[in-house]
Chain A
Amino acid sequence: MNERTQGVKFYQVGSFAVGNRLLEPDRHSAQADAQRANSLISGHRACQGCGEVLGARYVLDAAMRATGGKLIAVNATGCLEVVSTPYPESAWRMPWLHSLFGNAPAVASGVAAALKAQGHTDVRVVGQAGDGGAVDIGLGALSGMFERDDDVLFVCYDNQAYMNTGVQRSGATPGGARTATTPVVTGHPGNRFGQGKDVPAIAMAHRVPYVATATVADLRDLEAKVERAMQFTGARYLHVLVPCPLGWGAASSQTVRLARLATESGLFPLFEAEYGEVTAVTPIRHPVPVDEYLRGQTRYAHLFDDDGTHGGGDPDIVARIQAGADHNIRRYGLLADPDQSARGRIDLDEGVRR
């Protein structure tokens, strides 16, 4: 991780509790700052435990702190837009523009171009979309924004399906997951494998100044990456995993835990890249098998037969998902000791599996 900007790192051990009380006030997280921007305030209509709203709040308050409040947000159509601006109400305490589903990166580029023409380069632009808006329908506009190196930080809040329209498959839906358009029927165990897009890698292929992945499980990591992103001029991309209680079929209380398990299992690697090269990865400190992550979500319920209603489950699919996690671990070097993965899994296997 980027110790330079993060300054402080809480290693999550034991109780997983983190606190700002141990720190000097000027080293508090943006969220812990009583003077935080509250860019997205309460009263919006998001579901309880919504990862996207949590992520947006973290990202924007950190970006507001980094820019001294000189920030404009452009939003794609989607949950974040729908829950925050039912006319005549608005939960945004910053200049905010929603245009369409597939054009948020281009609209953000337009705002940046106008600010440049006006000489207001101190005002910065954040574009926001879900995985539908960034990975699928908006990818052309996103790629255009990247290749022109427009001065925009674009944030994808990835909950791995079209949640706003009722949990349909997107190009970010993982293999094996059940969605409304990848139903589980005999011979079709959820979403197909071998599909989908790695948009952080696509962003890196554009050689943009900064690309990072993050989750809502690690507030300080996410804030540090936002702050780092705001130190660059040009196109930047932040891909944030945001669990969706509704779409993933998990209790509202499990949002942060699931996000943490996604990284600790290796399914969602955390890294930073500058100008197309990986510069930092967040090592996995508590490796877990993918089972532990998958079992908490009804979208994967067909893979397990814990209650005896799924015909023995689908261990082959689970193994395939594990293989994907192991690939990520090798590719990004997420474990200092590669054997640690297997060891951790064996240790946990004894506890989690029979």
Chain B
Amino acid sequence: MSSEHMANPRAVVERLAARVSGRAVEGSRAVAETVARCRPQVVPAYPISPQTHIVEALSALVRRGELAPCEFVNVESEFGAMSLCIGASAAGSRTYTATSSQGLLFMAEALYNASGLGLPIVMTVANRALGAPINIWNDQSDSLSQRDSGWIQLYARDNQAACDLHPIAFRLAEELAVPVMVCMDGFVLTHALERIAVPDQDVVDRFLPAFAPRQRLDPAAPLSLGSMVGPEAFTEVKFIAHGRISQALGRMPELGARYGKLVGRPAEELARGYLLDGARTVFLAMGSVLGTLEDVIDEAREEGLPVGVVELTCFRPFPAERLRKLLSGADRVIVLERAFSPGSGGIISPELAAALAEPPTVRGGAGPVRCHTVVTGLGGRPVTKKALRTLVRDAAAGRVAGFSFLGLDRELLGRAGYGRAADADAGQTWERLLADLKNRETWR
């Protein structure tokens, strides 16, 4: 309960209103305020759209002394930002930063280093496409490219979740000594003004104890951190790290439930089902597309189609067991992917297929559950209700290919000269893809 809030009657009223139902606020601003309630001590930041509003808001909070003691450092690059996080976290301070897209890739070397050193840094990723071609709009190629970096990855379905996931992320990171990315769709969430309840300071304080680092740089107890490990122990170090990040599969739902109770909202979970009773065709997605998708599924249910949704919040560690349970009644899963692996296919789908194929295999009516990858919403292209309605009908009727792009503008491709015989040299995957496209006229 900071005195400056108490001194300002308007702030008090705003706070009381927020306790009931939140206030209309931009997603970035709400996330910044929530992060501030988590009392970070060092916040290095480098600007990149669409992350900017988050760090701008935090810099103002630090400048005004509302976050003291906290050091906000304007750094020279994202590589510098993550490197400062590494130093600050190793020195025993709670550390936070935010980035997007190219910035996340520029950090890549330091991301692996942070997780390898067991530093509980929390970072918001305002999800954005990767160039070339340069594109500032939303998809999830950036964070999914860092799938194997050893960071826990949580995806927010809306701005309320984006806020609520941050205290959970700090607690999870510090309990497990594993860094956490909270991923929220760039612009779609970061720049959206909506009613969001930012948690009160006392609520966050009850949930998130002061940072007690497992080890830190301290002249009174010297430690060597980051030493060289050769073939004799490297595998074991990585094995232990795998076990540590995997503990989040148990801790994340527990912490989500505890935090949900404190703020009076539904608990954040690893993954959640929506209208799964009797659903034979299930759509799985991460992030802001879930809202639109659930609206479309509501309509389809009214029409009597046996369809449902699985919301995936925790992508790393991958909650295989939870997904097997949620999908145990399905015949097929359509994975809406906001990124893909060129030359291969989906990124989430292969992991899901592997999870469902583990014995005892999850079986639908006519054999193993089939996973379909639908790539959608790349580089900020809106995922519309109209496109999803068609997809849902096609999918329920079994008319969706193993791998396809939703809403591909085939006229544009034609004008660009794609689909001609000369393109056949491009390789088998692309031939198959183009053949798939020819069979899927109805998508548009």
The finding on whether chains A and B are genuine partners in a shared complex, rather than unrelated, reads yes
Given contacts A87-B229, A95-B217, A140-B80, contact A107 B86 (CB under 8 A): yes
Cβ-neighbour of A119 out of B42, B69, B223 (below 8 A): B69
Q: How far is the CA of A81 from the CA of B225 in the complex (A)?
A: 11
Interface string of A88-103 (1 = CB under 8 A from B): 1010111111111011
Residues of A near B92 (CB, < 8 A) are 114, 118
Q: Which residue of A lies closest to B77 (CB)?
A: A140
Do B76 and A82 touch (CB < 8 A)?
no
- Does the CB pair A97–B87 fall under 8 Å? yes
Q: How far is the CA of A119 from the CA of B85 in the complex (A)?
A: 18
Chain B's nearest CB lies how many Å from the CB of A48?
Answer: 21
Contact of A144 with B by CB under 8 A? yes
Sample of 4 more A-B contacts, CB < 8 Å, known A92-B222, A97-B217? A69-B219, A96-B224, A141-B76, A141-B79
A123 to B216, CA, bound (A): 13
| 24 A–B contacts, CB within 8 A, in A order | A70-B219, A72-B91, A72-B217, A82-B228, A85-B228, A86-B227, A87-B227, A88-B227, A88-B233, A95-B218, A95-B223, A96-B217, A99-B110, A100-B109, A100-B113, A103-B86, A106-B87, A107-B86, A109-B83, A110-B44, A110-B88, A114-B87, A117-B93, A144-B75
A101 to B: closest C-beta gap in Å: 9
B83, B93, B95, most chain A CB atoms within 10 A: B83
How close is B9's CB to chain A, nearest CB, in angstroms? 31
Return the CB mask of B211-244 against A: 1 if under 8 Å, else 0: 0000001110111111111100100000000000
Q: Is A115 an interface residue (CB 8 A)?
A: yes
Contact residues in A for B42 (Cβ distance below 8 Å): 110, 113-114, 117
The chain A residue with its CB closest to the CB of B80 is A106
| Residues on B with beta carbons closer than 8 Å to the beta carbon of A107 | 83-84, 86-87, 90
A248 to chain B, nearest CB (A): 25
Q: Is the CB of A144 within 8 A of B77?
A: yes
Is there an interface contact between B219 and A141, defined as CB atoms closer than 8 Å?
no
- Closest residue of chain A to B218 (Cβ to Cβ) is A95
Q: Within 8 Å CB of A99, what residues of B?
A: 83, 86-87, 110, 113, 117, 226
Do A97 and B225 contact each other (CB < 8 Å), given the known contacts A106-B84, A114-B87, A143-B76? yes
Q: In the complex, how many residues of chain A place their beta carbon closer than 8 angstroms to a beta carbon of chain B? A: 46
> Which residue of B79, B87, B226 is within 8 Å of A110 (Cβ)?
B87
B56 within 8 A of A: no
A-B interface, 3 closest residue pairs, ranked by CB to CB distance from nearest: A110-B87, A144-B76, A85-B227
Residue-wise, chain B 186-217 has the 8 Å CB interface mask toward A (1 for contact) of 00000000000000000000000000000001
Q: Which among B93, B113, B222, B230 is the interface contact of A114 at CB below 8 angstroms?
A: B93
- Pairwise interchain contact B224-A92, C-beta atoms closer than 8 A: yes
A75 smallest CB distance to B (angstroms): 8
A46: Cβ under 8 A from any B Cβ: no
- Cα of A118 to Cα of B211 in the assembled complex, Å: 12
Q: How many residues of B contact A (CB 8 A)?
A: 43
* A residues 66-85 touching B (CB-CB < 8 Å): 69-72, 74-75, 81-82, 85
Q: In the assembled complex, how far is the CB of residue A81 from the closest CB belonging to chain B, in whole angstroms?
A: 7
Residue in A closest to B91 when the chains form the complex, CB atoms: A114
Given A92-B222, A95-B222, A107-B86, answer yes or no on A113-B71 (Cβ-Cβ < 8 Å). Answer: yes
**Complex alpha-carbon distance, A72 and B91, angstroms:** 9
Nearest opposing residue in chain A for B74, CB measure: A148
- Within 8 Å by CB of A106, from B75, B90, B227, lies B75
User: Hey, which chain A residues are within 8 Å of B44, CB to CB?
Assistant: 110, 113
Tell me if B70 counts as interface (CB < 8 A to partner A).
yes
Q: Nearest chain A CB to B65's CB is how many angstroms away?
A: 13
| Chain B: CB-nearest residue to A94 | B222
Specify which of B71, B77, B95 lies most central, judged by the most chain A CB atoms within 10 Å of its CB: B71
Task: Give B42's nearest chain A residue, CB to CB.
Answer: A113
Chain B residues 103 to 127 lying within 8 A of chain A, measured CB to CB, are 109-110, 113, 117
Contact of B228 with A109 in the complex, beta carbons under 8 Å: no
A110 touches B76 (CB 8 A): no
Most buried by A among B44, B71, B76, B230: B76
Q: How far is the CB of B352 from chain A (nearest CB, A)?
A: 34
